[in-house]
């Protein structure tokens, strides 16, 4: 079995990947409340899982790839009222992303895809990637939110909503598929709340507000219909869409790159 995770590979193996122009996926998420039924690490857990599944697809296509250790902190001030949340100010978040990407570049990699799993990071990450193009000359850095690259496919799978919300049918299904031991299934009967999607551009006038003003229980959407089968399908379509975007963006033709070494 080929190993993709940076922190499970040796330095020589990573050097080999860098010499063969591997793309590095950097999952980023948050540590924040996800209702009573899900753990606070959902956003990073699922972004990292999507990266690993996408890596297997890229490997099969002959594109060398490494998954960097994920960043569990993000911009989550809007969840602080519920407790159990860790958040960063924008300046610190920018510095963290910049320094990690700089380290990846200094290790010999030039292509970095920041794979986001938290809606509250989206606007900031777009601006951060713009600035990184100036701060890290030579680096090719892009960003994708793993659930938005497969928006159409996700809508076809979900039954109670048309997009991923928060601690909802979608996120809960994916957790049941990938991390079932972390889902408090006994709490699912009351894991429902008002509709609120990921997109800040879906309203004509954007204004910050606490998530407490959106939902009383920390849930947006309806998790009561979540299943592991739906979760597996959601993760697969997200991984496929993510891998496709990375290959298209990189102008990759399947089979043109050497296989990853099975080094530890």
Q: Would you state the pLDDT for residue 258?
A: 42
- pLDDT of 161: 93
User: What is the percent of the chain where pLDDT is above 90?
Assistant: 87
Distance (Å, rounded) from C-alpha 30 to C-alpha 193?
21
Residue in the structure block whose two tokens are 């793993």: 146
Reported confidence tier of residue 196, pLDDT bands at 50, 70, 90: confident
At 203 the pLDDT is 66
Rounded distance between C-alpha atoms, residue 137 and residue 254, angstroms = 28
253 CB-contact burial (10 Å; exposed 0-12 / middle 13-18 / buried 19+): exposed
Domains of the chain (ranges; CATH) run 6-158+234-249 (3.40.50.10310)
Task: Give residue 197's pLDDT band: very low, low, confident or very high (50, 70, 90).
Answer: low
Least trusted range by pLDDT, from 89-98, 112-121, 197-206: 197-206
pLDDT digits 0-9 by tens, 214-256 = 999 999 999 999 999 999 999 999 999 999 999 998 665 544 4
Phi and psi dihedrals of 161, rounded to 5? -155, 165
Q: Average pLDDT in the 167-173 region?
A: 98
Alpha helices by DSSP H, the chain: 11-19, 42-60, 90-106, 122-135, 151-157, 169-178, 228-249
Distance CA 74, CA 226 (A): 26
Tell me the C-alpha distance between 124 and 252, whole Å: 28
C-alpha to C-alpha distance for 90 and 125, rounded to whole angstroms? 10
- 229 is written with which tokens? 């089968």
Mean pLDDT of 196-201: 57
The pLDDT assigned to 201 comes to: 54
CA distances from residue 22 to 32, 104, 155, 190, 214 in whole angstroms, order as listed: 32, 11, 32, 45, 42
Q: What is the C-alpha separation between 116 and 164, in angstroms, rounded?
A: 13
Q: Rounded to two decimals, what is the model's pTM?
A: 0.93
The residue with greater pLDDT, 122 or 249, is 122
pLDDT number for residue 65: 98
Distance, CA of 182 to CA of 81 (rounded, Å): 23
pLDDT confidence of residue 250? 66
Per-residue confidence (pLDDT) for residue 260, from 0 to 100: 42
State the CB neighbour count (10 A cutoff) for residue 187: 15
| Residue linked to tokens 């960003």 | 143
Indicate whether 123 pLDDT > 50. yes
């Amino acid at each position: 079995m080929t190993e993709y995770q940076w922190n499970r590979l040796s330095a020589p193996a990573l050097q080999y990947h860098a010499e063969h122009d591997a793309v590095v996926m950097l999952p980023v998420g948050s540590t924040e409340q996800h209702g009573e039924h899900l753990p606070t690490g959902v956003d990073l857990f699922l972004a990292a899982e999507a990266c690993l599944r996408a890596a297997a697809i890229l490997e099969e296509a002959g594109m060398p790839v490494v998954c960097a250790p994920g960043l569990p902190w993000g911009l989550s001030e809007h969840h602080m009222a519920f407790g159990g949340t860790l958040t960063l100010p924008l300046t610190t978040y920018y510095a963290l992303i910049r320094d990690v990407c700089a380290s990846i570049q200094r290790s010999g990699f030039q292509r970095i895809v920041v794979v986001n799993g938290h809606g509250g990071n989206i606007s900031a990450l777009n601006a951060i990637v713009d600035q990184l193009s100036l701060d890290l000359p030579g680096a090719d850095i892009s960003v994708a939110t793993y659930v938005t690259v497969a928006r159409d496919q996700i809508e076809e799978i979900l039954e109670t909503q048309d997009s991923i919300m928060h601690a909802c049918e979608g996120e809960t299904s994916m957790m049941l598929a990938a991390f079932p031991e972390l889902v408090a299934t006994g709490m699912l009967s009351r894991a429902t709340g008002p509709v609120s999607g990921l997109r800040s551009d879906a309203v004509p006038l954007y204004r910050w507000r606490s998530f407490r003003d959106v939902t009383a229980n920390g849930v947006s959407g309806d998790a009561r219909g979540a299943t592991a089968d739906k979760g597996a399908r959601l993760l697969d379509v997200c991984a496929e869409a993510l891998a496709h975007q990375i290959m298209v963006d990189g102008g990759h033709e399947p089979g043109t790159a050497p296989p990853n070494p099975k080094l530890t």
